[in-house]
Structure 1
Amino acid sequence: MDYFVGLDVSLRSVAVCVIDADGKHVFERSVDCEIEDIAACLRDVPQGRYRIGFESVAMSQHLYFGLQCAGFDVVCMEARQVNAALSAMRNKTDKTDARGIAQVLRSGWFSKVFIKSREAHAYRALLSSRKAVQKKCIDLANEVRGLFRIFDLRLPSRVDQGSFDERVRPVIEADPDLSRALLPLLDARAMLYKTYRELDRRVKQAASHDAICLRFMTIPGMGADRGLHLSRHRR
C-alpha cells in the first residue's frame, strides 16, 4: 500500500504524519531532526511504499540526501505553495502542519524544488564568506573616512582597498589622539582584508577548475565570483 509522509521541519525537531492513499491518518509523532530518528520512526508504520515530503527550508539539503540514502522516495515542495495550502487550516501547530503537508503530498498539487548538491552549497558558502568579509572591510574604511572629517582630514575620493592601509596609517600615526582611537580600528581592517584576500584566492582557484565558470568568465565584466555563482546555480 502507498503511504504519504509529511514532515514539518524545525531546527531541532520534526513533526511526522503518515497518511494512506485514501487520506486516512495512520501515524504521527515528533522526533529529533536527525535522519536516523526519522527512519526509525517510520519502521513502526505498516509495510508499503513511502513517499516523504517537506517544504523547502534551511535543512532541506541535509534531509533530502540523507533520507534518499536511507532508501526513501523524497520530495521537497515549494514553500509558498505549501504555506498557501496550510493557511486555510484553523489551528496552526507543528502536528497539524505535518498533516497538511502529507495531504498536499498525496494530492500532487505542488511544485518540486530542485535540491543543489553538497558541493554547490559548499561553493555558495565560500562566496558568501568572501562577500561578508569584503563588506566589513568597506564598512571599516568608510568609518575611518567619516572620523577623518571631524579632524579636517580628507582622503582622495578613490583609494584602492589594497592600498588603503598604507595611505591612512602614516596619517594616523602622526597624531597621538588619532592613534589612540583609530589604530585598533585600522588593525582590525587590515586583518579582515588579509582574510578577504585568502578567500578571494580560493574563489579564483575554484573558478579556474570549473569549465562552465571559465566559459562564463569570457563575458566582458564577468569576474570569478559571479561566474562561479552562476555555474554552481545550475547544479
Structure 2
Amino acid sequence: MSVYAGLDVSLNSTSICIVDADGAIVREWKVDTESEALSLAFEPYRATITRIGLEAGPFSQHLYSTLAEAGLPVICVEARHMAQALRAQTLNKTDRNDARGIAQMMRVGLFKTVHIKTDLSQRLNVLLRARKILKSKLLDIEADLRGVLKNFGLKVGKVTPKTFELRIRELAAFDPLIGAIVDPVLVARRTMREQYDRLHTLLLQVVRDDPVCRRLMTMPGVGAVVALTYRVAIDVPQRFAKSRTVGAHVGLTPKRYQSGEIDWTGRISKAGDPAVRTALYEAAQVLLTRIARPSSLRSWAMRLAKRRGRKKAIVALARKMGSVLHRMWIDGIDFQWEARPI
C-alpha cells in the first residue's frame, strides 16, 4: 500500500502526517527538527512511501539533502504555491493541519517543485550574501556620518573610500565631544572595510578559478559579481528547457491577467531571486550607457530605447542578457559581438 507524507517544519519541531492512497490518515506525530530524527521517523514506511512533501524554507536545503541521501523520495515544494492550496482548506491554520494538507497534495500530485541548489552553489551564495551585508552596513555608516555632520552645517563632499575617514575626522575636530563620538564609529567602519575587502578579494579569486564565470564575463557589462550571482542563481542550466524561460524565472517578464473580456499586461512580475534580477538590470545599464564597442545586443537595445523609452529598454535588455548568458553556458561559447549567420 502506497503512502504519502507531508512535513510542516518549524524551528524546534516538525509535524508529520502520513496518508494512504485513499486520503485516509495513517499516522500523525511530531519530531524534533533534526535530520537524524526525521530520517528515523520514516524508517518503518521506507518500503511503501511514495512521496514526502517539504515546503521551501530556511531548513529545507539541509533537510532535503539529508532525506535524499537516506534514499527517501523527498520533494521540496514551492511555499507560495502550497500556501494557496492550503488556504482553500476550511480547517484552522495549525502545524498539524498544514502537514495534513501537504500530505494530501503529495497524494493527488498538486504541487510545484523547487530546485535545491548544489552544495557548491550554496557555499558561493554564502560568500555573496556576506559581502552584500558588509557593503550595506558600510554604506549605512557612511550615510549616517554625513547626516550627523550636516546638522552642524558641515559638508563632507566628494571623497574616496580611503579619504573618507580623514575627511570626517577633519570636520569633526570643531568639537571635542563630536570628535569623541565619531572616533569609535570610524574605527568600526575601518574594520568593516578591511573585512569587506577580504571577502571581495576572495570573490575575485573564486571567479578567476571558475571557467563558467570567466565565460559569462566575456559579455560586456558582466563583471565578477554579476557573473557569480548569475551562476549561483541558475546553478544547473539544464533545468531550463529553453533559454528564454530564464527571464520569467528571475521575474523580468510582464504580469498578465486574463478573464473573460479582461486582458491586460502589467509590469514585470519580480518573481524569483531578487539578487540576480538586480545584477542583470545593473549589467544592462552598463552595456547600454557605458560600453562604446558596438554589438548586436547593444544595437537591439538602442533601437528599442528609441521606440519604447530607456527604462523599458533596460529591463528588456536585462531579460535578453539572462537568456544569452544561459545559451553561452549551455553551448560553452564566449559572447559573440557580431550576430552569427543563421
* TM-score between the two structures when normalised by the length of structure 1: 0.92
2:197 paired with 1:203: no
Inter-partner Cα distance in structure 2 for 1:95 and 1:187: 50
Note the 1:181-196 alignment, pairs <5 A.
181-196=181-196
Q: Corresponding residue for 1:232?
A: 232
The answer to whether the 8 A contact 2:213-2:231 is kept is yes
Residues 46/184 of structure 1: CA separation in 2 closer, same or farther (3 Å cut): closer
Q: Corresponding residue for 2:62?
A: 62
The answer to whether the 8 A contact 1:172-1:183 is kept is no
Q: Read off the aligned partner of 1:104 and give its amino acid letter.
A: M
Q: Corresponding residue for 1:2?
A: 2
Flag the structure with more relative contact order, 1 or 2, with Cα contacts below 8 A and sequence separation at least 6: 1
Aligned residues: 234
Q: Corresponding residue for 1:77?
A: 77
* TM-score between the two structures when normalised by the length of structure 2: 0.64
Residues 166/81 of structure 1: CA separation in 2 closer, same or farther (3 Å cut): same
Q: Look up the SS of the partner of 1:54 in the other structure.
A: strand
Identical amino acids, percent of aligned pairs:
38
Q: Read off the aligned partner of 2:133 and give its amino acid letter.
A: A
2:69 paired with 1:97: no
Q: Corresponding residue for 2:153?
A: 152
Residues 136/46 of structure 1: CA separation in 2 closer, same or farther (3 Å cut): closer
The answer to whether the 8 A contact 1:207-1:228 is kept is yes
Inter-partner Cα distance in structure 1 for 2:72 and 2:46: 15
Gaps of 5+ in 2: 236-342
Q: Deviations over 1:105-135 (max 9, x none)?
A: 1111111111111221221111111111111
Q: Read off the aligned partner of 2:105 and give its amino acid letter.
A: V
Q: Deviations over 1:166-220 (max 9, x none)?
A: 3333443575343212111111111111111111111111111112211222233
Inter-partner Cα distance in structure 2 for 1:150 and 1:77: 51
Inter-partner Cα distance in structure 2 for 1:150 and 1:39: 60
Shifted more, 65-74 versus 164-173: the winner is 164-173
Inter-partner Cα distance in structure 1 for 2:123 and 2:85: 33
Q: Corresponding residue for 2:176?
A: 176
Inter-partner Cα distance in structure 2 for 1:47 and 1:200: 49
Task: Let me know the Cα RMSD of the aligned residues.
Answer: 1.8
Q: Look up the SS of the partner of 1:162 in the other structure.
A: coil
Q: Deviations over 1:66-107 (max 9, x none)?
A: 001111011111112211111122222111111110110111
Shifted more, 180-189 versus 160-169: the winner is 160-169
Q: Corresponding residue for 2:143?
A: 142
Shifted more, 121-130 versus 210-219: the winner is 210-219
Q: Look up the SS of the partner of 1:213 in the other structure.
A: helix
